[in-house]
Amino acid sequence: MNIIGINAFHADSSACLIMDGQLISAVEEERFNRIKHWAGFPIESIKYCLKESNLDISDIDHFSINIDPKANYFKKILFLIKHRPSFKLVLNRLKKKKKYNSIKELIDKEFKGSNFKGQINNVEHHYAHLSSAFHVSPFEESCILSVDGFGDFASTAWGFGKKNKITIDNKIHFPHSLGIFYQALTQFLGFKNYGDEYKIMGLAPYGKPTYVEQLKKILLIKPNGNFELNLDFFKFHKENFNYRWDSGKVEIEDLYTNKIESLLGPERTQGEELTDFHKDLAHSTQKVYEEAFLNILNNLYEKYQNENLCIAGGCGMNSVANGKIKDNTNFKNIYVQPAAGDAGGAIGAAFTTYYKFTNKKRVFEMKHAYWGTSYDNNQISDCLKKNEKIIENQKCSLRLIPDNNELNKVVANDISEGKVVGWFQGKMEWGPRALGNRSILGDPRRSDMKDILNLKIKRRESFRPFAPSILREHVSDWFKNDDEVPFMMKVYQIKENKRKDIPAVTHVDGSGRLQTVYQETNKRYYDLINEFYKLTKVPIVLNTSFNENEPIVSSPEEALDCFLRTKMDILVMENYIIKRI
């Protein structure tokens, strides 16, 4: 059975392919069209999945989408009766629903001449999220939680997974949402772009929990894992709220009303200097979110008494909160797949459909994130030949090192000397984290490396941390928690006596958003870090995404372009090394 799962007409549009219960490929549309968080129909992602497996659209048995316009129907009716939203808001929702119902037409339009005879399946948004985590996890049984902004008129769902079955116990419905709470405060602090919430996570450790009580007037934490928004502070649910993505780029106007300023003071304008007030508000936002989040988890554990937990949804990307689960609940084993947000819903939709029609035993576990595009040395050579004159004009040397061991020794030595390295190899990562295949690497021992990266390449806010990639067997020597973190989805405290040794990846509060690296899932990256370890006695390299205010690079052309327009020192693409002379 061949199934294509999609997340369409929503932020982070994506597609995946599973064949007989095995994930074959998965990729976000933004990697092809270069528009961050693109929200249309993922046609290029679908074409990639088909091409990668040498399939035609006629070979696909099912298309599954992570949205079901019929879901929570009676909740929608009750909301209309109770709140009487504006006519324009209702009209916009109906237009959006029409797009979801046109999938078959879009397939026929985009694949003219091909004959798709398969079935279209709608999977409720949060069910798809839960599936995207549990059905690819290592657990036979697990508590499950999905938390995000909204999807299918709900923001949160939790329950239990057993074998290939998922049971949902409870949902938090529109207009109450932890994702909206966090996003609104992100906007209030002057970070207006869709997906900027990670900036609040980075800023929070610089502040104090000064505004917790004020924020608890906005987010009301209830018993049994429940919560509510104080709707007096929000406008998204009753006005003709502007949520635009017609051009593919997601744009959302402010979610909150002016009343929030009477509670917290004036909002920060974009570009305004960050003050202690802003840092304290970021810290308080994170703290109140964590309290509500942990309240759900403790309630969930109390019911099932199971130490396994799977998390999905956009809020599943809050790696700071994820890193506090073990210390604040009874959960011992936590799994968050690399595309926990809406992109991951494509996988959930596909696996939900697979188990619905086959009821077979689970056979797949997602141990790595490398499901995207790849290029061999011949393709990279073609790219370099086309750009030979540009490379020469930028005074760069070009070298081919066929032996991987020799190449790793050369690059590890360059990193140890303070060079900034663009590292392009293997299959592209699934999800927003660079995990060693489309990464920029640096020496974690250098206290000035953060400033070097921000000056040379990233051009981003100075308060944002960089991540440590660490050899799995050394985690307990460097971090207070010895845990599996293959997808960079948890933040843990670095041991006090080690922080001075790796200042470039130690955040202001002593934490690091680690990635545990395994030889069996990424030998090339593991061996590179191991060579760096032999040179320095530090089994860690600094890892950040290979991009410059754009989606992570996908192709050799994009990697080379990013290298040439920034001040990166070295570019490694498979076995080719380009160095600035």
Checking if the pLDDT of 97 tops 70, the result is: no
pLDDT of residue 534: 98
**pTM score of the predicted model:** 0.94
Average pLDDT, the chain: 94
Residue 54 neighbours by CB distance under 10 Å: 7
Checking if the pLDDT of 82 tops 70, the result is: no
How does residue 88 score in pLDDT terms, banded at 50, 70 and 90?
Answer: low
Checking if the pLDDT of 78 tops 80, the result is: no
pLDDT of residue 535: 98
pLDDT digits (tens, 9 = 90+) for 408-445: 999 999 999 999 999 999 999 999 999 999 999 999 99
DSSP 456: I
Measured N-to-C along each axis, helices 523-536 and 404-416 cross at an angle, to the nearest 10 degrees, of 50
Phi, psi of 140 (to 5 degrees): -75, -35
Checking if the pLDDT of 272 tops 60, the result is: yes
pLDDT of residue 542: 98
Checking if the pLDDT of 67 tops 60, the result is: yes
> Which domains does the chain possess?
2-130+346-358 (3.30.420.40), 132-338 (3.30.420.40), 377-580 (3.90.870.20)
pLDDT of residue 238: 77
Nearest residue to 301 via CA among 142, 530, 422: 142
End-to-end Cα, the chain, rounded Å = 53
pLDDT of residue 159: 98
pLDDT of residue 324: 98
Q: Where is 247: in which H helix or E strand? A: none
pLDDT of residue 251: 85
Contacts of 233 (CB under 8 A, 6+ apart): 184, 218, 256, 257, 259, 260, 263
Rounded to whole angstroms, what are the CA distances from 48 to 23, 115, 375, 433? 14, 18, 13, 20
Checking if the pLDDT of 89 tops 70, the result is: no
pLDDT of residue 459: 79
Measured distance CA(246)–CA(254) in Å, rounded: 18
Nearest residue to 437 via CA among 445, 428, 446: 428
> How large is the average pLDDT for residues 496-522?
98
Give the long-range contacts of residues 271-274, CB within 8 A, separation 24 or more: 271/190, 272/190, 274/203, 274/463
pLDDT digits (tens, 9 = 90+) for 182-226: 999 999 999 999 999 999 999 999 999 999 999 999 999 999 999
pLDDT digits (tens, 9 = 90+) for 68-77: 988 776 676 6
Q: Which residues of 551-560 are buried (b: 16+ CB within 10 A; e: fewer)?
A: bbbbbbebbb
> How large is the average pLDDT for residues 236-256?
78
| More confident call, 251 vs 46 | 46
Checking if the pLDDT of 532 tops 60, the result is: yes
Nearest residue to 286 via CA among 203, 359, 371: 203
pLDDT of residue 84: 61
Tokens found for residue 271: 């570009």
pLDDT digits (tens, 9 = 90+) for 313-350: 999 999 999 999 999 999 999 999 999 999 999 999 99
